[in-house]
Structure 1
Amino acid sequence: MGRFSRRGFLAATTAGAAVATTGGAASAAPAGKKGTSCVPQPGVTTVAGGDPRYQELVHRGFNARFAATPDRVHVVHSAEQTADVVTETVKAGRQLAVRSGGHCFENFVDHRDVRALIDTSPMRAVYYDERHRAFAVQPAATLGEVYRTLFHDWGVTLPAGVCPQVGAGGHVAGGGYGPLTRRDGTVVDHLYGVEVVVVKAGGNARVVTATREPDDPNRELWWAHTGGGGGNFGIVTRYLFRTPGAEGGDPSALLPKPPTRLRSTYVTWPWADLNLARFTRLVTNFSRWYEENGSDPRYASLYSTLHLNTHAIGAVSLEARFDGGRPDAAELIERYVAAVNEGTGLEPAVEHQDDLWLQATLGARFDTGGYDRHKSKSAYLRRTWTPERIAVVHKHLTDAAFDGWGAVDLYSYGGKVNTVAADATALPQRDSILKAWFSVTWMDPELDELHLRWIRELYRDVFADTGGVPVPNADHDGCYINYPDTDLADPRWNTSGVPWHTLYYKAGYRRLQQVKAEWDPRGVFRHPLSVRLP
């Protein structure tokens, strides 16, 4: 299979289920609890150009296409420090941005206008908050740290992303999803509250906690963080998680429990064996399975991705994760793989791997194998693509003039997600069966134009019948804000007449604007795709 390998497959294609840091488990007890030792908290660290730490701090973003050039970087350790820095920055008239995990795909943080970068990377605690009867997660805690701490200490988990290196900050705010989403919903379906540093009209920052309680006067601020995107309303300093309807004070009963074991299956179809007819059958089989079987309770824990890779990667691939603790797990997965391959006339390579759930989850990779320049696009699918649309994908993936590392990944979705009302959270896409992630990665800055043109033309041609973007209709339901794409606001690439904010937020955008007017009336928190003041 040439250059294709399991490591290459994972490195190039598994970043999609999380957007939004580095290791080390973080677990802490609530402040003030008797019997806990107090670790001295450092003060704010402020770094300017010329300081040997400056380059490290401004270049730790995921996408090397963008590099921040702020006048100063403030490394903060608490909500109070964050509020003090924000107040000082606003009074000085500097545009600010915040970085937690550092995995934003666009230039929201690394924008040329940003003069003050607030780095929350030390804020990575994960603990149980008795007062709120909820689990607290600080913004820079990585998903791997969250999974490890929740499981080791309480035997529970969250249905968040597949990439353990991603920080909770932006991932949660954008409505994160992952391997347990079809069984347990999105991560924001379990968001009880959010602690945020906000700036009201007077210019002074303050710390506010908003919850989903019906009588909470700040409830709309909570709602805006259930999929309204990061960098819009303030700086999140703590998330609070508790599953709706969970009763009692036993922490181990307040969030979902993960599978005991995980059965992972890897399937590869070399490009040498694929023609258009076989490729079309494969994509159709995969998508139609979720149309016809997506609500089958036996497959509630199934998470799978069909990686439609460029010919340079060497193969089209399927990765499936399933509850390995089921006695019929092997049989169900065998049936699933057979259904995806049915009628192709191919005998793909199939590999199964059984692991303990946490070991398998923490072992997932999120890197680009050194390919550090990146561009992403997205779409929600309400039903299977037509053969004509699939043929467009095939044409671009097999383009002999393009030898880069790109992919169209189809991620399983639906299940429990589809049982939540569209306006219950700021994440309105609630009847889709799949998510599509279009991505391309490379290293050489001189090849920027080649790779950007490839993915832009691919995306435009796939959605040519709706102005180059997945306009909400019977086939699609817009885009996912955690895969941000500034091209959606560019009339050269979006000719649909449907604005970018409708593609991301649909009718909920007006409500988000009202939250913006209430909690950020000065427009302090802004970026190229931020919620605008009404």
Structure 2
Amino acid sequence: MIEMISLSSSMLPLLFVLLFSFSWVTSAHTHEDFIECFSLYVEDSTDISKVIYTQNDSSYSSVLHFAIRNLRFNSTTLKPLVIVTPTNVSHIQAAIRCSQKNNLQIRIRSGGHDFEGLSYMSVLPFVILDLINFRSVTIDVTNKTAWVQAGATVGELYYHIAKKGRTLAFPAGICPTMGVGGHLSGGGYGALLRKYGLAADNVIDAELIDANGRVLDRKSMGEDLFWALRGGGGNSFGVVIAWKIKLVEVPPTLTVFNVLRTLDQNATQLIHRWQYIANKLHEDLMITTYIRRVNSSQGNPTIQATFAGFFLGGVDKLLQLINESFPELGLAKDDCLETSWIEAIILNRFPGNTSLELLLDRTPRFVSNYKAKSDYVKEPMPENALEGIFEMFLEEDIETPRLLLVPYGGKMDQISESSSPFPHRAGNIYKIEHQVSWSEEGKEASQRHIDWIRRLYSYMTPYVSKNPREAYINYRDLDIGMNNLAGNTSYKQASIWGRKYFKNNFDKLVRVKTAVDPANFFRNEQSIPPLSSW
């Protein structure tokens, strides 16, 4: 049995530096070795300089940092030997083969939103395979499908859908800079969750390059591997280069609203009441709750809850539904905006502007240091438990705490736990994203905020799912468990984090991994291990 390495994610940057320094010195390989190998396997070696960046290149740093979304890792990021930005399949095949030959890890980056930086960091010598040039989107309006390459952002996908028609949509997230590759690999959700399920639930084919360099589609890869790709997490089975997705229909007019309430406006009571109705509303209606700290009109810190509504229909029908199920909210017609699906997505990020071209901007509006965790709630929390959360939010030395409460029910109750690796279905009232962000620099500030969110997570223990305490893979959290940083990882060790993300589906994921990547080439701190690594 391999002894488990138990490390907090806040210790990783220092450990990464120490381990990486050792492995770099002892490695006999250089970027020249990789480039020489790469030139032998690509279709056209004349354009290598356009797709490979080494630390000697002036643009290396800008390419590396462009898609680092968590500034917590910006100063401590371990630099890859090379960054490969492929423009064709042979570049990816060559990157895989040459990483194997040179004993390099490979990290696959789509949008760079991995919460723990695993798409651009490794403790061992590594290569980043950045799919930024794999971003084409092809829409088939007749069949209501699309092929989208893994390096495209959600915003780029939405842009191309909207150009073909305003009543077609896709149930992915509302953050336009997220990469499609990682988003769909972990499940992916957005404002259409209760109507159409996860983004991964609407994937009907995929193209993947495996550890042997083979290009596989759904038919040639088989149903087990196709199952694993749709929610089993990225970078475990190969390089997904494209997804075929099923588009969904939305009405030409829908209604959105944001109702803001502070503690002196009964925010606590409204959140408490929301828990009893959020997963029982009509599937056309989704009310997400955001909780944050703000200053009151008197300048004193308080808690503000935002009830964000998204309804597939007109305002009159919406008001009828709210008055029947959640009259305490006090929603008025003036609080509501009738708009199209695509304009609602744009307005969420760019208030007052509905230009489609905004969706093509891959640069996030805000970046910060942050740490996040996730939970699933199966029974409503009592009011006094909510008050305990708010007390922690008001601690003076914590910069920007947030909670995001995402309601389930609707379509999510109708899909079985085993239909995809994503198991969090019926029985969940809502999902929680716990997050804290900060701008203050330095290790002390980072540790203070990470310690705070760990205390919050501990406080939440009595009120969330148990055995296992479930978590969402796209809100990656290394605190819940990690593979060994070097050497093999036992099934028992990986199960610590694996069952929290995947419950009993973890066993099937391990079997699939064993069949398609027994040598465990595609690996990271929370990748699925093969049986051979026991």
- The TM-score with structure 1 as length reference comes to 0.77
Check conservation: 1:83, 1:197, Cα contact below 8 A: yes
2:149 corresponds to 1:138: yes
SS at match of 1:136: strand
Separation in 1, partners of 2:116, 2:410: 30
After superposition, residues 91-102 of structure 1 pair within 5 angstroms as: 91-102=101-112
The alpha carbon displacement at 1:89 in A equals: 1.3
User: Matches of 2:504 and 2:365 in 1, distance apart?
Assistant: 39
After superposition, the Cα gap between the structure-2 partners of 1:404 and 1:350, relative to the gap in structure 1 and judged at 3 Å, is farther
Consecutive unaligned residues of structure 1, counting only runs of 5 or more, are: 1-40, 243-254, 342-346, 492-496
Matched residues, percent identical? 26
Residues 246-325 of structure 1: pairs in structure 2 closer than 5 A: 255-271=247-263, 273=264, 278-291=266-279, 293-294=280-281, 299-311=282-294, 315-325=304-314
Matching of residue 385 in structure 1 with residue 381 in structure 2: yes
SS in 1 for 2:504: helix
Task: Output the amino acid matched with 1:518.
Answer: A
Q: Distance in 2 between matches of 1:125 and 1:370?
A: 25
What is the CA-CA distance between 1:310 and the residue it aligns to? Answer: 2.8
1:107 aligns with 2:107: no
CA–CA distance in structure 1, aligned partners of residues 71 and 367 of structure 2 = 9
* Deviation at residue 382 of structure 1 after TM alignment: 2.2
Q: Check the 8 A contact 1:223/1:425 in 2, yes or no.
A: yes
- What SS is found at the alignment partner of 2:210? strand
Aligned 1:468-483 pairs, distance under 5 A: 470-472=465-467, 478-483=470-475
Question: What is the aligned partner in structure 1 of residue 401 from structure 2?
Answer: 406
Cα drift, residue 120 of structure 1: 0.4
Match for 2:416: what amino acid? A
Counterpart check, 1:453 vs 2:451: yes
C-alpha change, 1:190 and 1:370, in structure 2 (3 Å) is: closer
Instruction: Give the AA of the match of 1:173.
Output: S
CA distance in 2, matches of 1:187, 1:137: 13
Cα–Cα, structure 1 residues 383 and 42, in superposed 2: closer, same or farther, change >3 Å?
A: farther
**Partners of 1:101 and 1:133 in 2: CA distance:** 25
Q: CA RMSD in A?
A: 3.0
Q: CA deviation at 1:472?
A: 4.3
Cross-structure match for 1:250:
none
Q: Match of 2:452, SS?
A: helix
Q: Partners in 2 of 1:134 and 1:268 — Cα distance?
A: 37
- Equivalent position amino acid for 2:293 in 1: T
Aligned runs of 1:483-498 on 2, under 5 Å? 483-489=475-481
Measured in 1, the distance between the counterparts of 2:139 and 2:71 equals 36
Q: Report the equivalent of 2:57.
A: 51
**CA separation in 2, counterparts of 1:50 and 1:490?**
33
User: Do the aligned partners of 2:69 and 2:367 also contact (CA within 8 Å) in 1?
Assistant: no
Q: How big is the shift at 1:351?
A: 3.1
Rounded to whole Å, the distance in 2 between the matches of 1:141 and 1:368 is 14
Q: Which residue number corresponds to residue 353 of structure 1?
A: 337
1:12-51 correspondence to structure 2 within 5 Å:
45-51=51-57
Partner of 2:244, secondary structure, is strand
Q: Give the conservation status (yes or no) of the 8 Å contact 2:255–2:315.
A: no
The CA deviation at 1:81 is 2.0
The 1:170–1:454 alpha-carbon spacing in structure 2 relative to 1, beyond 3 Å, is same
> Counterpart of 2:346?
362
Aligned equivalent of 1:64: 71
Contact 2:108 2:120 in 1 (8 A): no
- Kept in 2, the 8 Å contact 1:64–1:374? The answer is yes
User: Displacement of 1:518 after TM fit?
Assistant: 1.2
Q: CA deviation at 1:336?
A: 5.4
Gaps of 5+ in 2: 1-45, 296-300, 351-362, 484-493
1:16 corresponds in structure 2 to none
Shift of 1:79: 2.9
Deviation at 1:369, TM superposition (A): 6.2
8 Å contact kept, 1:68–1:109:
no
Contact preservation (8 Å) 1:478, 1:503: yes
- What's the TM-score once normalised by structure 2's chain length? 0.77
Q: Classify 1:284/1:133 alpha carbon distance in 2 versus 1 (closer, same or farther; 3 Å).
A: closer
Structure 1 residues 136 and 349 mapped into 2: Cα distance closer, same or farther (>3 Å)?
A: closer
Kept after mapping to 1: 8 A contact 2:495/2:506? no
Q: Which residue of 1 aligns with 2:229?
A: 225
Distance between the aligned counterparts of 1:379 and 1:49, measured in 2?
40
Question: Could you say which residue in structure 1 is the equivalent of 2:179?
Answer: 167
Query: Which residue pairs with 1:29 in the alignment?
Result: none
Task: Tell me which residue corresponds to 2:15.
Answer: none
Matched with 1:186 is 198
- The residue that corresponds to 1:462 in the other structure is 460
**Aligned match of 2:420:** 425
2:368 to 364, 369, 372: 372
Is residue 153 from structure 1 mapped to residue 159 from structure 2 by the alignment? no
Contact 2:288/2:308 (CA < 8 Å) preserved in 1?
yes
Q: Deviations over 1:270-329 (max 9, x none)?
A: 34x16xxx45422211111125x33xxxx3222222112135685222211112447523
SS in 2 for 1:499: helix
Q: How many residues align?
A: 448
The CA distance in 2 between the partners of 1:368 and 1:122, in whole Å, is 18
| 1:169-218 deviations in Å (ceiling 9; x for gaps) | 1000000111111011111111111111111xxxx32211125xxxx661
Give per-residue Cα distances to partners, 1:77-112, cap 9 Å, x unaligned.
233321121111111111110111111111212323
Residue 386 of structure 1 and its aligned partner are, at CA, apart by 3.1
Cα distance change on mapping 1:68 and 1:414 into 2, 3 Å: farther
In structure 2, the residue matched to 1:4 is none
Q: Which residue of 2 aligns with 1:521?
A: 518
The structure-2 alpha-carbon separation of the partners of 1:169 and 1:42, relative to structure 1 and needing over 3 Å to count, comes to farther
Change (3 A) 1:117 1:302: same
- TM-aligned CA deviation for residue 165 of structure 1: 1.7
